[in-house]
């Protein structure tokens, strides 16, 4: 009996009464297979759509469930993944990948006929899953109050999700079979991969059954496969990863032959929702390949990093699906326990241009959507800029007809833009549309090819790689094109520019400057030395290395991508020369194509922009030291930190970023660098806060404090640590407690001074000082300063700033 069967009745009851339910069930509990099939068979829902994060898992689950029905996929159990759709009028349970559900919702926001959505393995938190769930929640709230949503995983961040979605959680306790854990400490972190073959050999010799080995990617799989040379004769090695053909994948998943054991080297494609027959041993490297988006270059690079504890639990669960198992983990128990509890969601570390375009097409802003982890403002800005370059959004950030068309294309939006533009230009540029199909096939096949795209395409045209050929056939069929005898590669640079307008680049020193403002360098295989390069593939360290591109001239792309070109007048102050540079320029994004002395008169607004750029470069250090202004800056930052409900977030960087709002108007009458350095920015800075906030700042974090003597003493603030009030001791007689700042959230350190203004005592507890340490100070000071007042009870005495004779 599967664990999920124990909670089936309770789950059905919740699904029938609640709009959303969370199910947390261990690997092998039957949540991805037995549960959806039973819900369909019992007729609780008319049509169920279940999302799977990966195509391999989706296909295998659909095949398994269809076989349980003694049917082929496409009858009662359907499948909808990229390049493969098998559904019919009889389909009642449909297995889809997340991007497919987003398309279904965009095409039919009511999801007509569907009454249950299941998000399987939701802990993986892919961008597509977050997008689909946000749209489904909106559909449920506005159009379909009868639509039920079920989120499932073995390792949900249950408490957080339950609180965010305000929904019940059901837990299926227990694992089908116990799993022993063996930890293998790392000898050398930098050589972790070298230990894997020995661990596999150890596991094979110590255990019975087949072995599943988790590695970050195909490169590591190939290295380990080559190193496994001393295995028992009954062991056969298989590989399993996403880019393989279906036959190779099925061979890895199938049961081992009688008397044989399998060693399956895989990526995290086998981490969830996939049962490989006969596996009772898992060897976990503890590593995964993950996408890391570089906001500066606009490139998503793949990096190798440690997995979270939840992913490690998922991987180990593969060993206990059909019998008791064991997991061998690379690393110590202490290392395992220091890992993050869950992997970071994709939405916080990836290019969100697809999400932003989906939201625009949906008719919503990102802030309108219920997203567990909203993207950062920098991500939104980068995505908006890219979508405008791709003509999907106009200058006012509104969705264009082309943007809608790109989304409906069902592929990466960059490639969709290229294909649509190529189709539009086919009549005037014959052969461009076919060339675009060949280029898409090359880029999507991810095969190794020459760095020069011209050479790469001609090579594949003459001797196609099997994966390239498969992709090409798909695209030719879809676009209703035929193979061509000759490729019109004279259009290649324009096609690359259509897809990657932000990666048009101009030579700069030993590298290139990209249109998006980032720098790039050539990989060792790239021999290009052209002035201009259209880049299709980048990566490497910080995403700044060029892997594939083609030379271009600005003239050949300007006629079709005119919106990327613009004229501007640049005004900046040359600090070395001590003068203004005033130039008329033609730009391609951040690239300067031509520049000449401006014909326009240098006006005060242009000059102010130049000063503003200097401020953004040097920050507040550009101004001469001015204590009052510096203290105001610290007080404003403290207010935003200590009282965020009253004051907007203020950091030095946020002030730099918004300087064109609060500072630029004050710079218009400044004509020289010396004047700029002497500029008192206090008035400009305080206007970042509105009148009410300025008044509250003065009350909560005053610049000065009136003490019992009547003196108005300045407070010195610092970003870290207490504020400091330096005052002569006689002036605070009668003060019974240390004053409170920021509603008691910021400590005040009182530096009590002698009549000669030398430090006598530091205290944050004035009342305690009067009762204790003051006696010692009194004895010493009476002899040193006999003309001054040293009362026995300072807490009740009259404060003074004078000597005794003048009191």
What pLDDT is stored for residue 300 in this prediction? 76
Report, as an integer, the average pLDDT of 636-652: 93
Q: How confident is the model at residue 174 (pLDDT cuts 50, 70, 90)?
A: low
* DSSP letter (8 states) at residue 452: B
- Torsion angle (degrees, nearest 10) of CA 6, 12, 13, 18: 130
Domain 3-171 identical in fold to domain 179-344: yes
Q: How confident is the model at residue 528 (pLDDT cuts 50, 70, 90)?
A: low
Report, as an integer, the average pLDDT of 665-691: 91
Burial label, 257 (beta-carbon count in 10 A; 0-12, 13-18, 19+): exposed
Query: Quick one: which of 742, 511, 543 has its CA closest to 634?
Result: 742
Report, as an integer, the average pLDDT of 302-328: 85
| 368 half-sphere exposure, CB direction, 13 A CA radius | 12
User: In the CATH scheme, what is the code of domain 179-344?
Assistant: 3.40.50.300
User: pLDDT tens-digit profile of 56-100?
Assistant: 889 889 999 999 999 999 999 999 998 889 999 999 999 998 789
Higher pLDDT, 422 or 243: 422
Q: How many CB atoms lie within 10 A of CB 804?
A: 12
Report, as an integer, the average pLDDT of 478-506: 96
Q: How confident is the model at residue 176 (pLDDT cuts 50, 70, 90)?
A: low
Report, as an integer, the average pLDDT of 388-392: 96
Q: How confident is the model at residue 199 (pLDDT cuts 50, 70, 90)?
A: very high
* DSSP letter (8 states) at residue 154: S
Higher pLDDT, 505 or 581: 505
What lies within 8 Å, CB to CB, of 11 at 6+ separation is: 4, 21, 23, 35, 170
What pLDDT is stored for residue 807 in this prediction? 64
What pLDDT is stored for residue 605 in this prediction? 85
What pLDDT is stored for residue 28 in this prediction? 73
Q: Are 505 and 512 in contact (CB under 8 A)?
A: yes
Query: Quick one: which of 252, 257, 349, 244 has its CA closest to 294?
Result: 349
Q: Are 764 and 738 in contact (CB under 8 A)?
A: yes
Q: How confident is the model at residue 408 (pLDDT cuts 50, 70, 90)?
A: confident
The strand pairing partners of 700, in sequence order, are none
Quote the pTM value. 0.75
What lies within 8 Å, CB to CB, of 289 at 6+ separation is: 216, 217, 267, 302, 303, 304
Q: Are 726 and 754 in contact (CB under 8 A)?
A: no
Q: How confident is the model at residue 273 (pLDDT cuts 50, 70, 90)?
A: low
Q: How confident is the model at residue 580 (pLDDT cuts 50, 70, 90)?
A: confident
- pLDDT at residue 47 tops 90: yes
Report, as an integer, the average pLDDT of 301-306: 83
Q: Where are the beta strands (DSSP E) in 479-603?
A: 504-508, 511-514, 519-522, 532-539, 545-551, 565-574, 579-588, 591-597
Question: Candidates 3.90.25.10, 3.40.640.10, 3.80.10.10, 3.40.50.300; correct CATH number of 3-171?
Answer: 3.40.50.300
Higher pLDDT, 253 or 65: 65
Q: Where are the domains of the chain?
A: 3-171, 179-344, 409-535, 619-699, 702-806
């Amino acid at each position: 009996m599967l664990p999920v069967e124990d909670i089936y009745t309770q789950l059905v009851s919740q699904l029938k009464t609640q709009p959303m339910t969370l199910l947390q069930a261990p690997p092998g509990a039957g949540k991805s297979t037995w549960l959806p099939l039973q819900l369909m068979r019992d007729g609780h829902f008319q049509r169920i759509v279940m999302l799977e994060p990966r195509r391999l898992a989706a296909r295998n689950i659909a095949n398994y469930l269809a076989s349980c029905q003694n049917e082929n996929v496409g009858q009662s159990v359907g499948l909808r993944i990229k390049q493969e759709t098998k559904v019919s009028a009889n389909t009642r349970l449909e297995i889809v990948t997340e991007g497919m559900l987003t398309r279904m919702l965009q095409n039919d926001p009511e999801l007509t006929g569907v009454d249950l959505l299941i998000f399987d393995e939701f802990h993986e938190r892919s961008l597509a899953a977050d997008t689909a769930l946000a749209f489904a929640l909106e559909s449920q709230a506005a159009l379909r109050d009868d639509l039920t949503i079920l989120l499932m995983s073995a390792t949900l961040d249950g408490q957080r999700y339950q609180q965010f979605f305000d929904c019940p959680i059901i837990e299926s306790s227990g694992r089908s079979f116990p799993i022993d854990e063996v930890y293998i400490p790392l000898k050398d972190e930098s050589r972790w991969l070298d230990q894997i073959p020995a661990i596999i050999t150890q596991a094979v010799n110590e255990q019975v059954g087949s072995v599943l080995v988790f590695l970050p990617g195909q490169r590591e799989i190939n290295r380990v496969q080559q190193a496994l040379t001393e295995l028992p004769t009954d062991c056969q090695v298989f590989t399993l990863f996403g880019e393989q053909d279906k036959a190779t994948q099925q061979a890895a998943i199938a049961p081992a032959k009688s008397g044989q054991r399998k060693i399956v080297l895989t990526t995290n494609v086998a981490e969830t929702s996939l049962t490989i027959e006969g596996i009772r041993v898992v060897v976990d490297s503890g590593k995964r390949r993950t996408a890391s988006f570089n906001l500066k270059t606009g490139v998503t690079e793949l990096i190798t990093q440690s997995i979270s504890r939840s992913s490690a639990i998922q991987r180990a669960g593969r060993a206990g699906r059909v019998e008791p198992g064991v997991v061998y983990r690379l690393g110590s128990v202490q290392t395992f326990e220091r890992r993050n509890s869950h992997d970071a969601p994709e939405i916080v570390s990836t290019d969100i241009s697809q999400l932003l375009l989906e939201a625009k097409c949906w008719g919503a802003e990102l802030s309108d959507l219920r997203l567990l982890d909203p993207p950062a403002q920098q991500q939104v800005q980068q995505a908006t800029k890219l979508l405008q370059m791709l003509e999907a959004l106009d200058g006012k950030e509104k969705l264009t007809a082309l943007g809608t068309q790109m989304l409906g294309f069902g592929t990466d939006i960059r490639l969709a833009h290229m294909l649509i533009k190529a189709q539009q230009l086919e009549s005037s540029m014959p052969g461009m549309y076919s060339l675009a199909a060949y280029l898409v096939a090359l880029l999507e096949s991810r095969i190794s090819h020459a760095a020069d795209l011209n050479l790469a395409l001609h090579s594949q045209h003459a001797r196609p790689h099997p994966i390239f050929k498969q992709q090409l056939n798909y695209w030719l069929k879809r676009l209703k094109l035929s193979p061509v005898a000759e490729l019109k590669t004279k259009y290649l640079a324009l096609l690359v520019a259509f897809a990657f307008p932000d990666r048009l680049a101009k030579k700069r020193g030993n590298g290139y400057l990209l249109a998006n403002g980032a720098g790039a360098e050539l990989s060792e295989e790239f021999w290009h030395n052209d002035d201009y390069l259209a880049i299709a593939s980048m990566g490497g360290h910080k995403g700044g290395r060029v892997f594939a591109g083609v030379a271009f001239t600005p003239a050949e792309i300007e006629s079709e991508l005119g919106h990327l070109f613009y004229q501007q007048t640049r005004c900046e102050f040359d600090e070395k020369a001590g003068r203004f540079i005033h130039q008329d320029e033609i730009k391609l994004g951040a690239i300067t194509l031509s520049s000449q002395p401006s014909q326009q008169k240098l006006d005060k607004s242009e000059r102010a922009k130049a000063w503003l750029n200097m401020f953004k470069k040097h920050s507040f250090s550009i101004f001469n030291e001015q204590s009052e202004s510096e203290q105001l800056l610290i007080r404003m930052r403290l207010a935003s930190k200590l009282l965020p409900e009253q004051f907007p977030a203020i950091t030095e960087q946020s002030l730099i970023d918004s300087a064109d709002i609060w500072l630029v108007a004050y710079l218009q009458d400044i004509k020289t660098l010396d004047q700029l350095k002497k500029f008192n920015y206090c008035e400009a800075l305080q206007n970042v806060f509105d009148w009410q906030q300025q008044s509250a700042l003065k009350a909560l974090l005053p610049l000065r404090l009136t003490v019992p003597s009547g003196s108005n003493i300045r407070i010195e603030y610092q970003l870290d640590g207490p504020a400091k009030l330096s005052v002569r001791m006689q002036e605070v007689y009668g003060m019974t407690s240390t004053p409170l700042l920021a509603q008691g959230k910021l400590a005040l350190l009182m530096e009590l001074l002698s009549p000669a203004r030398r430090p006598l005592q530091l205290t944050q507890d004035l009342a305690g000082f009067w009762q204790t340490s003051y006696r010692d100070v009194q004895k010493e000071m009476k002899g040193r300063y006999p003309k001054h007042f040293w009362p026995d009870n300072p807490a009740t005495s009259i404060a003074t700033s004078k000597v005794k004779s003048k009191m």
